[in-house]
């Protein structure tokens, strides 16, 4: 959970002295910083920094980020360094720029609660993040001179969650909101869990610092747990069972221990699903996310879809680019070894986000080019402006694991007469999943989770005996996928639980290389035969039928496991192959499943055992439902 730039001002440097360049000098000379406490309806005061333009020729809109990561630097003579980011464009347009420490964080009063549930039936002085936003907006519109009465909110990651909650505030001044990679559901698809599987590496690198208790306002949160071993695979393997991580960081990290007490998708988790409040949403919405966001790939896609369904009258749009977490605010020409042929982030800033806020907050320009879904398709490296998502011209097509262990759109059962199908013995591939030697999520030795793993070369995994690899023949025409992929696995395992990782991979031709004119990472990596991870997802097997009520497998019994992978927007070009890999560990990205049916948070080393995993093919075997664009 590398929350390095998690509010949309993208001010990576909190400077106590100003960079001596033209933009920093201009910003300081043309803006006045004001710090104040804004009182909420229950009396709690939230610390707020406002950067107010000195221009008085017109009235100005607000653009705010609410953050749990501090609105530093503190002090009215110390300015956040927006001149290092595209947010400077808003300053040049004389926006009133606002940062606010959310309740219970840094210099704000009150008690902090992680992903605080939305309360749709608030009464009297009851609060949630929506009401805190309402009260903050209301005070500023009434008390900050020179404003035009229009308010916008944006934020990335956790501030993306607060942006979602802002959209539920109902304040009439709030005209436009852009939740970007928003934390949405920490059990199903973001940060802490995917389909119930615990993403230990992100959580443990983040929470020992973030989760420290701070009962009184403070500017400094200090440091967290220091990992003694600088090889994350080795560290987490030696750490053993998940309960040992809790003992390493002690008893003071409240949310960490609460999470251990809720191993299933119970009411505690369900109330923290931000989609539950997305009804009757009033402001224009611009959901933003990265196709290769290792932290919050789930949130933008699924919050957009929930708004479409639950609040159909909302002016609701989505943007997805080929980005890691927050990359839309930085250089966007490549990710790891994969290149996109243009600076996709600059395109987004200049053609989508800035025009969006300009139109709704200042009444300037046009958003005619901004469609319902604005999606960058990798592979072909092209933006698509679409009237809906998934696109109208998408057809769901099944691709099967055939008897020859290849992938094919031809149903393997068609060639047999009905009376012969039952006579044919089941066909399968199998592997042994050993918790003592889990499949690494990336090649090489790393101290922290890499962001590049989302497009990394998978050849290292293809060479392992505990990874199954299936691929098509060389494609004779382009194959474009636009939407979610559904894995329909038919399996049998020798134990009572297991995880299933499915990876969608683009296999490049053996003679492939990028033109020298296409910007990359300046590393000479062999791209011929590259196996690009396009999408990977994990399913904790015991949740295959219900996230609320896990079920053990019956050892040796043929069992279906069906789950959905996050949406894909990718073209497999002519001459490439589509590959699918299946494995049962993804370490140390995800915690190890003991492969016995148990509460994994309380499991001991003695619970871990090897499992033989069979994946059935052929008639009545495994297949994958692909969203194929015609």
**Cβ-proximal residues to 580 (8 Å cutoff; 6+ apart), any chain:** 407, 469, 470, 471, 502, 503, 504, 505, 624
> What is the percent of the chain where pLDDT is above 90?
90
The mean pLDDT of the chain is 94
Residue 209 has pLDDT above 70, yes or no: yes
Output 565 or 222, whichever has higher pLDDT: 565
Identify the weakest region by mean pLDDT among 167-176, 223-232, 324-333, 562-571: 223-232
Class of residue 60 by CB neighbours under 10 A (exposed 0-12, middle 13-18, buried 19+): buried
What is the tens place of the pLDDT at every residue in 21-51? 789 999 999 999 999 999 999 999 999 999 9
- From the list 500, 495, 484, 504, the residue with the least C-alpha distance to 615 is 500
What's residue 413's pLDDT? 77
pTM for this prediction: 0.95
Q: In the structure, what pLDDT confidence band is assigned to residue 13 with cuts at 50, 70 and 90?
A: very low
What's residue 416's pLDDT? 65
Q: 390 preceded by cis ω (within 30°)?
A: yes
What's residue 146's pLDDT? 97
**Cβ-proximal residues to 510 (8 Å cutoff; 6+ apart), any chain:** 528, 529
Class of residue 403 by CB neighbours under 10 A (exposed 0-12, middle 13-18, buried 19+): middle
Q: In the structure, what pLDDT confidence band is assigned to residue 381 with cuts at 50, 70 and 90?
A: very high
What's residue 1's pLDDT? 46
Average pLDDT over residues 317-339: 98
What's residue 414's pLDDT? 76
Average pLDDT over residues 458-479: 98
What's residue 423's pLDDT? 66
Phi-psi domain of 140 (left: phi exceeds 0; alpha: psi -120 through 50; beta: other)? alpha
**Cβ-proximal residues to 67 (8 Å cutoff; 6+ apart), any chain:** 6, 7, 99, 100, 101, 102, 105, 155, 158, 159, 162
Residue 395 has pLDDT above 60, yes or no: yes
Residue 166 has pLDDT above 50, yes or no: yes
What's residue 16's pLDDT? 34
- From the list 297, 357, 355, the residue with the least C-alpha distance to 321 is 297
Residue 422 has pLDDT above 80, yes or no: no
Q: Report yes or no: 620 and 411 within 8 Å, Cβ to Cβ.
A: no
What's residue 418's pLDDT? 66
Average pLDDT over residues 167-173: 98
Average pLDDT over residues 160-171: 98
What's residue 496's pLDDT? 98
Residue 18 has pLDDT above 50, yes or no: no
Helix (H) or strand (E) holding 625: strand 623-629
What's residue 223's pLDDT? 77
Identify the weakest region by mean pLDDT among 204-218, 283-297, 372-386: 204-218
Domains for the chain: give ranges and CATH numbers.
Answer: 22-185+272-386 (3.40.50.1820), 394-629 (2.60.120.260)
Q: In the structure, what pLDDT confidence band is assigned to residue 2 with cuts at 50, 70 and 90?
A: very low
Q: In the structure, what pLDDT confidence band is assigned to residue 394 with cuts at 50, 70 and 90?
A: very high
Residue with tokens 């250089």: 331
């Amino acid at each position: 959970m590398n929350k390095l730039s998690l509010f949309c001002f993208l001010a990576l440097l909190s400077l106590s002295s100003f960079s001596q360049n033209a933009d920093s000098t201009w910003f300081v000379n043309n803006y006045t910083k004001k710090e104040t406490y804004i009182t909420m309806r229950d009396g709690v005061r939230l610390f707020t920094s406002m950067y107010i333009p000195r221009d008085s020729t017109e009235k100005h809109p607000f653009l705010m980020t609410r953050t749990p990561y501090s609105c530093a630097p503190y002090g009215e003579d110390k300015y956040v360094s927006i001149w290092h980011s595209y947010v400077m464009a808003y300053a040049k347009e004389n926006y009133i720029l606002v940062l606010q420490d959310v309740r219970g964080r840094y210099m704000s009063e009150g008690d902090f609660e992680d992903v605080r549930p939305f309360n749709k039936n608030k009464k009297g002085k009851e609060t949630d993040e929506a009401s805190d936003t309402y009260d903050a907006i209301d005070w500023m519109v009434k008390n900050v001179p020179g404003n035009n009465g229009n308010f916008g909110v944006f934020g990335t990651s956790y501030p993306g969650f607060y942006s979602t909650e802002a959209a539920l505030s109902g304040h009439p001044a709030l005209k436009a909101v852009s939740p970007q990679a928003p934390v949405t559901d920490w059990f199903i698809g973001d940060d802490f869990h995917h389909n119930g599987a615990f993403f230990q590496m992100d959580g443990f690198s983040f929470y020992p610092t973030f989760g420290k208790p701070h009962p009184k306002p403070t500017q400094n949160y200090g440091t967290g747990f220091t990992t003694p071993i600088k090889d994350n695979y080795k560290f987490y393997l030696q750490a053993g069972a998940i309960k040992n991580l809790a003992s390493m960081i002690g008893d003071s990290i409240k949310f960490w221990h609460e999470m251990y007490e809720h191993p299933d998708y119970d009411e505690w988790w369900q109330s923290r699903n931000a989609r539950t409040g997305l009804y009757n949403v009033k402001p224009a919405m611009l959901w933003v996310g990265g196709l290769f966001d290792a932290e919050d790939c789930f949130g933008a896609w699924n919050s957009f879809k929930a708004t479409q369904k639950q609040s159909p009258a909302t002016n609701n749009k989505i943007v997805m680019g080929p980005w890691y977490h927050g990359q839309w605010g930085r250089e966007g020409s490549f990710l790891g070894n994969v290149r996109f042929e243009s600076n996709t982030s600059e395109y987004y800033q200049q053609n989508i986000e800035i025009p969006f806020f300009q139109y709704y907050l200042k009444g300037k320009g046009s958003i005619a080019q901004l469609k319902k879904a604005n999606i960058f398709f990798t592979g072909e490296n092209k933006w698509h402006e679409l009237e809906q998502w998934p696109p109208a011209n998408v057809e769901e097509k099944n691709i099967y694991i055939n008897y020859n262990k290849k992938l094919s759109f031809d149903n393997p059962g068609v060639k047999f007469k009905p009376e012969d199908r039952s006579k044919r013995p089941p066909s399968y591939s199998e592997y042994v999943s050993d918790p003592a030697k889990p499949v690494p999520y990336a090649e090489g030795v790393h101290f922290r989770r890499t962001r590049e793993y989302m497009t990394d070369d998978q050849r290292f995994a293809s060479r392992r005996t505990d990874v199954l690899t299936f691929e098509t023949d060389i494609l004779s025409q382009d194959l474009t996928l636009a939407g979610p992929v559904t894995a329909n696995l038919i399996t049998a395992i020798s134990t009572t639980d297991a995880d299933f990782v499915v990876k969608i991979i683009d296999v490049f031709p053996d003679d492939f290389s990028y033109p020298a004119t296409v910007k990359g990472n300046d590393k000479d990596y062999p791209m011929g035969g590259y196996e690009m991870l396009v999408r990977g997802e994990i399913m904790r097997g015991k949740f295959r039928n219900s996230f609320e009520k896990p079920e053990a497998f019956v050892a040796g019994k043929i069992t279906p496991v069906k789950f959905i992978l996050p949406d894909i927007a990718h073209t497999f070009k002519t001459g490439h192959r589509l590959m699918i890999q299946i494995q049962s560990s993804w370490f140390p990205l995800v915690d190890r499943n003991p492969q016995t049916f148990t509460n994994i948070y309380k499991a001991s080393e003695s619970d871990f055992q090897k499992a033989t995993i069979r994946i059935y093919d052929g008639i009545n075997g495994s297949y994958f439902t692909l969203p194929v664009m015609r």
